[in-house]
């Protein structure tokens, strides 16, 4: 373990700049606001800040629609503010990574304005343009039947040049054409090297598996009969040249700086597809976010993303087991996360936030679960204080996300009230909006996110007077206090928690989540030559559950196991069968 790269052990923390901390009273978070909270993050145990897009943008998809890679969106601050942020991180031994959003640009990026200006423009081929098709009645049709991520076609008609351009996300997000070498060179230079030259430490790389599309541009099979557009991720994910492109980006843009990279890998649910991206030998990415677990509850392709499908604990456990073990015996590496800016809050989805007691217990259980898993851990802002989804009573007017509104408007247009109700229900659990409401700093107006007189860009959660960081900072028994202590233990026993092997136990049990972590080698401290082991036992229900035979599961023999830590201060140290775990109680036992 002595020579492992630094980023394997690091604690990453994602900041969504619009909602983290506003310093100038305009209701939007900003970089100086983030700088003012670096000490808070340092105290929590964060090593690396991942800052979501703060580049110049029309903000139709919250900055994932970039119109100038080399400028800062004025409400977030200036280039000098980024320099200050880099310095604020580095002076505390922390690092900063930015978001690299290069599958598409904004339609207001000068590259696209040139591209759409004429078929003869040298940048025409930097985006993906196709002529129309015509049906039997002579009606113009898009080149393929593909449905985009935000509802609607993936193709937008351009009047001036009489062709369609491809946009997997919004029509305002035209896809770049990675097949064009000049386009790739410009991406590496303007979007990546510009910031690395300024001193940042790496990138979270957006939509990393979508740069190489299939080039035949054929219709997707009809999986939603009757629908105008068909889901088609296999047409644009993990395409024929994807590994060539990523390796090139690594060699030309990242490796010269020793930059860390974490790629966003959606629609890639098979370990054998994922391994090539993260194998050290292939020199592509250090690690990726894989989405099977975080997507639990979302509807399938047929029913649509926001058609909520309840799932049993055993399914969640199976996903965790798959992605905890797929790198074992390989030279790859993986991530641990349960929240980001594209999903509902973990405590509302995987825990139980129906009462204050259950909220606190399940937020801590989630913390214990995450800190004991193998891989690099990523926290999302507010997760550490157990921030919850927006209240169910809030209406659709509080939802701002382009994806939420795309699905909602589609249902309204269909004039089908049942469909509208289904979407509204799904949005209440899964919408990207939940993670985007302002951070709850304290009990002052607007939760201390912005000035008392300002109007925050999204409504602040009603319960901020009781759920906020200031209150929890003062209480070591709080969710925040628990995260801080648990992150320390994660590092102290890194051989077990960060680097250990993972074995799921009682996989069919729908109440308990139990797994065994083992250090790779005998670390020799008091284990009598055995490998060090940790048994994680969590009650993932809101009822009391019988505690299993810990000694038996740990293989240490009854009575020889020790409680290392737990979510409850008074967790039993005397163990064995017959005892009970309280709702959402979690404990970690060791054999040394
Ligand atoms: O998301 C890409 C993506 O494919 C999905 O995982 C995303 O969550 C979306 O909800 C699909 O339904 C990235 C960003 O994380 C997201 O915020 C952006 O909207 C998207 O790219 C487009 O840039």
Q: Which residues of 488-524 are buried (b: 16+ CB within 10 A; e: fewer)?
A: ebbeebbbbbbbbbbebbbeeeeebbbbbbbbeeebe
Rounded mean pLDDT of the chain?
Answer: 95
Q: What is the mean pLDDT of residues 545-557?
A: 86
Domain boundaries, the chain: 7-108+176-473, 500-590
- Residue 291, pLDDT score: 97
Task: Report whether residue 99 contacts ligand 1, using a CB cutoff of 6 Å.
Answer: no
Task: Report whether residue 206 contacts ligand 1, using a CB cutoff of 6 Å.
Answer: yes
Q: Helices marked H in 326-401 — which ranges? A: 346-349, 356-371
Q: Does the structure show a pLDDT above 90 at 443?
A: yes
Q: Which residues of 373-383 are buried (b: 16+ CB within 10 A; e: fewer)?
A: bbbbbbbbbbb
* Residue of 217, 238, 237, 221 lying closest to 130 (CA atoms): 217
Distance CA 31, CA 35 (A): 6
- From edge to edge, which strands make up the β-sheet containing 163-166? 129-130, 163-166, 155-158
* pLDDT, greater one: 247 or 578: 247
> Which ligand 1 atom sits closest to the C-alpha of 342?
8
**H-helix or E-strand spanning residue 50:** strand 48-51
Question: What's the CATH superfamily of 7-108+176-473?
Answer: Glycosidases (3.20.20.80)
Task: Report whether residue 65 contacts ligand 1, using a CB cutoff of 6 Å.
Answer: no
CB 210 within 8 A of CB 232: no
Q: What is the mean pLDDT of residues 272-296?
A: 97
* pLDDT, greater one: 193 or 556: 193
Percentage of the chain lying above the pLDDT 70 cut: 96
Task: Report whether residue 61 contacts ligand 1, using a CB cutoff of 6 Å.
Answer: yes
> Which ligand 1 atom sits closest to the C-alpha of 341?
17
State the distance from the centre of ligand 1 to the C-alpha of 409, rounded, in angstroms: 19
- Helix %, strand %, coil % of the chain (to 5): 30, 15, 50
Residue identified by tokens 């064995």 is 576
CATH class assigned to 500-590 = mainly beta
Alpha-carbon distances of 15 from 90, 376, 456, rounded to whole Å: 17, 17, 17
State the distance from the centre of ligand 1 to the C-alpha of 342, rounded, in angstroms: 7
Q: Which residues of 527-557 are buried (b: 16+ CB within 10 A; e: fewer)?
A: beebbbbbbbbbbbbbeebebbebbebbebe
- Residue 577, pLDDT score: 47
State the distance from the centre of ligand 1 to the C-alpha of 343, rounded, in angstroms: 10
Output the pTM of the full model: 0.97
Q: Which two tokens stand for residue 219?
A: 């219709």
Helix and strand numbers (H, E) in the chain are 19, 24
* pLDDT class of 551 with cuts at 50, 70, 90: confident
* Residue of 483, 471, 456, 458 lying closest to 356 (CA atoms): 471
Distance CA 400, CA 574 (A): 51
Question: What amino acid positions are annotated as catalytic residues?
Answer: 206, 264
Distance CA 283, CA 280 (A): 5
Q: Does the structure show a pLDDT above 80 at 530?
A: no
* pLDDT class of 475 with cuts at 50, 70, 90: very high
- Residue 75, pLDDT score: 98
Residue among 50, 52, 55, 64 whose CB has most ligand 1 atoms within 8 A, to mutate: 64
Beta strands in 145-259, from DSSP E residues, in sequence order:
146-147, 155-158, 163-166, 202-205, 230-231
- Residue 303, pLDDT score: 73
- Tell me the per-residue pLDDT of 112-135, one tens digit each, with 9 for 90 and over: 999 999 999 999 999 999 999 999
Alpha-carbon distances of 308 from 26, 305, 398, 488, 547, rounded to whole Å: 35, 8, 20, 36, 32
Task: Report whether residue 64 contacts ligand 1, using a CB cutoff of 6 Å.
Answer: yes
Task: Report whether residue 47 contacts ligand 1, using a CB cutoff of 6 Å.
Answer: no
State the distance from the centre of ligand 1 to the C-alpha of 201, rounded, in angstroms: 23
CB 32 within 8 A of CB 81: yes
- Tell me the per-residue pLDDT of 361-419, one tens digit each, with 9 for 90 and over: 999 999 999 999 999 999 999 999 999 999 999 999 999 999 999 999 999 999 999 99
Task: Report whether residue 14 contacts ligand 1, using a CB cutoff of 6 Å.
Answer: no
Distance CA 203, CA 101 (A): 10
Distance CA 348, CA 363 (A): 9
Distance CA 62, CA 300 (A): 25
**H-helix or E-strand spanning residue 40:** helix 38-44
Task: Report whether residue 164 contacts ligand 1, using a CB cutoff of 6 Å.
Answer: no
Q: Does the structure show a pLDDT above 70 at 524?
A: no
Q: Does the structure show a pLDDT above 80 at 277?
A: yes
What is the DSSP code (8-state) at residue 328?
T
* pLDDT class of 458 with cuts at 50, 70, 90: very high
Q: What is the mean pLDDT of residues 338-359?
A: 98
Residue among 269, 294, 342 whose CB has most ligand 1 atoms within 8 A, to mutate: 342
Q: Does the structure show a pLDDT above 90 at 527?
A: no
> Which ligand 1 atom sits closest to the C-alpha of 340?
15
Residue among 65, 101, 176, 266 whose CB has most ligand 1 atoms within 8 A, to mutate: 266
- Residue 574, pLDDT score: 47
- Tell me the per-residue pLDDT of 179-214, one tens digit each, with 9 for 90 and over: 999 999 999 999 999 999 999 999 999 999 999 999
**H-helix or E-strand spanning residue 6:** helix 6-9
Q: Does the structure show a pLDDT above 80 at 43?
A: yes
The two beta strands, 230-231 and 163-166, are unpaired
């Amino acid at each position: 373990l002595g020579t492992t790269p630094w980023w394997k052990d690091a604690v990453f923390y994602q900041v969504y700049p619009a909602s983290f901390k506003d310093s100038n009273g305009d209701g939007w978070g900003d970089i100086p606001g983030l700088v003012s909270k670096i000490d808070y993050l340092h105290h929590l145990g964060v090593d690396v800040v991942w800052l979501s897009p703060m580049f110049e943008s029309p903000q139709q998809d919250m900055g994932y629609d970039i119109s100038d890679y080399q400028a800062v969106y004025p409400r977030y601050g200036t280039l000098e503010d980024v320099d200050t942020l880099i310095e604020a991180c580095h002076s505390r031994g922390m690092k900063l990574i930015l978001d690299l959003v290069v599958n598409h640009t904004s339609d207001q990026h000068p590259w696209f304005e040139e591209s759409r200006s004429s078929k003869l423009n040298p940048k025409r081929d930097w985006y993906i343009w196709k002529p129309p098709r015509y049906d039997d009645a002579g009606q113009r049709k898009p080149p393929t039947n593909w449905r985009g991520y935000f509802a609607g076609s993936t193709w937008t008609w351009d009047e001036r040049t009489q062709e369609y351009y491809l946009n997997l996300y919004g029509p305002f997000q035209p896809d770049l054409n990675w097949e064009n070498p000049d386009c790739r060179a410009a991406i590496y230079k303007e979007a990546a090297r510009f910031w690395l030259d300024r001193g940042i430490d790496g990138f979270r790389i957006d939509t990393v598996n979508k740069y190489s599309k299939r080039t035949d541009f054929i219709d997707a099979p009809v999986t939603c009969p009757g629908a105008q557009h068909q889901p088609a991720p296999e047409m644009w994910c993990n395409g024929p040249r994807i590994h060539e492109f990523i390796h090139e980006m690594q060699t030309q843009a990242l490796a010269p700086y020793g930059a860390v990279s974490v790629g966003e890998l959606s629609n890639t649910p098979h370990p054998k597809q994922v391994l090539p991206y993260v194998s050290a030998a292939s020199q592509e990415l250090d690690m990726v976010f894989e989405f099977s677990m975080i997507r639990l509850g979302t509807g399938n392709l047929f029913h649509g993303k926001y058609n909520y499908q309840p799932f049993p604990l055993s399914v969640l456990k199976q996903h965790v087991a798959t992605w905890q073990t797929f790198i074992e015996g390989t030279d790859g590496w993986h991530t641990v996360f349960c929240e980001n800016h594209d999903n509902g809050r973990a405590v509302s989805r995987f825990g139980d936030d129906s009462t204050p007691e259950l909220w606190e217990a399940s937020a801590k259980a989630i913390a214990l679960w995450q800190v004991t898993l193998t891989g690099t851990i990523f926290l999302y802002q507010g997760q550490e204080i157990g921030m919850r989804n927006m209240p169910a009573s809030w209406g659709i007017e509080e939802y701002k996300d382009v994806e939420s509104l795309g699905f909602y408007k589609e249902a309204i247009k269909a004039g089908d009230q049942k469909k509208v109700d289904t979407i509204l229900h799904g949005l209440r659990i899964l919408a990207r909006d939940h993670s985007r409401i302002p951070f709850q700093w304290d009990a002052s107006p607007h939760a201390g996110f912005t000035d008392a007189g300002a109007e925050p860009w999204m409504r602040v959660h009603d319960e901020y007077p009781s759920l906020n960081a200031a209150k929890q900072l003062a209480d070591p028994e709080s969710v925040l206090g628990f995260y801080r202590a648990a992150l320390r233990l994660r590092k102290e026993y890194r051989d077990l928690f960060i680097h250990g092997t993972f074995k799921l136990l009682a996989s069919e049990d729908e109440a308990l989540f139990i797994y065994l972590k083992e250090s790779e080698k005998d670390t020799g401290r008091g284990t009598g030559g055995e490998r060090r082991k940790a048994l994680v036992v969590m009650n993932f229900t809101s009822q009391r559950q019988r505690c299993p035979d810990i000694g038996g599961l740990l293989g240490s023999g009854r009575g020889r196991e020790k409680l290392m830590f737990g979510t409850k201060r008074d967790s039993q140290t005397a163990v064995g069968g017959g005892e009970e775990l309280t709702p959402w109680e979690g404990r970690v036992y060791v054999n040394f």
